[in-house]
Structure 1
């Protein structure tokens, strides 16, 4: 397993992972374009991937502009191996080295993702949009729980 910074050449494989998931699926995969991914990993924030045998099996992207976790997904064939947690740690360590602003994310209720974020100390602060839970992580909470 190799964890590294995402590069523009990774976008096609990132999209394959994003569209492989069985929870928090996109209603229309065309809504998240390759150009969106490029913008988020090169200008708005940064992304990371997990590779196994030169195949990307998970990725995470943080957005410094909107103080948001834009994406954290693991291919279903590679779930429950610690990949998501490792990507989460790398991403939040980087995020809080660059800002002390709170970071937020939205995820569907009653999913493994909801349980994952709760276990990692994210706080439910209400709703995002019409059908997602909005979670928040503070700099202080990350420092207390991450190491």
Structure 2
């Protein structure tokens, strides 16, 4: 598996991963446009893709403007292979080199994603208006959990 910075040319490949997931399903594909993706990759923040055998199998995008994790998804065929953890570590190491602002994200309750973030030191701060679990992570928490180091 290789992790590299996402490019605009990767959008269609990583969105196939987004549409393949079994949790946090995007039912309305029109809600996430190519224009949104270009904006997040080129203006708002940065993204990464994970490749295996020349195929995009996961991606992550951090938003520096909103101080959030906009996306972190792994193709179901590549679950439990370290793809998500590696993308998470790469993204947050970059994020906390850019800013000392805490990062936040939200995910559906009762999902594997919720457990993934809890195991990595994210702290629940409540619920969003739509009922998702809202998490925050500070730079100090990130360093304390040791996830800044390569594993």
- What interval of TM-score do these two structures reach, taking the shorter chain for normalisation? over 0.9
TM-score if structure 1 supplies the norm length? 0.98
d(CA) in 2 for partners of 1:41, 1:129: 26
Partners of 2:137 and 2:60 in 1: CA distance: 16
Q: Which residue of 1 aligns with 2:115?
A: 115
The whole-number CA distance in structure 2 between the counterparts of 1:4 and 1:129 is 34
- Corresponding residue of 2:18: 18
Partner residue, 1:41? 41
Q: Deviations over 1:47-90 (max 9, x none)?
A: 00001121100000000000000000000000000000000000
Q: Does 1:135 align with 2:135?
A: yes
Tell me the TM-score normalized by structure 2: 0.95
- Structure 1 residue runs of 5 or longer lacking an equivalent are none
Give CA deviations for 1:7-42 in whole Å, capped at 9, x if unaligned: 011000011000100100113111001111111011
* 1:8 alignment counterpart: 8
Count of residues in correspondence between the two structures: 147
- Following TM superposition, by how much is the alpha carbon of 1:131 offset from its aligned partner in structure 2, in angstroms? 1.6
Secondary structure (helix, strand or coil) at the match of 1:131 reads coil
The whole-number CA distance in structure 2 between the counterparts of 1:4 and 1:108 is 27
Q: Secondary structure in 2 aligned to 1:130?
A: coil
Q: Which residue of 2 aligns with 1:55?
A: 55
Secondary structure of the residue aligned to 1:38 is helix
Runs ≥4 residues deviating over 4 A: none
How far the C-alpha of 1:129 sits from its partner, in A, is 2.5
Give 5+ residue unaligned stretches, structure 2.
none
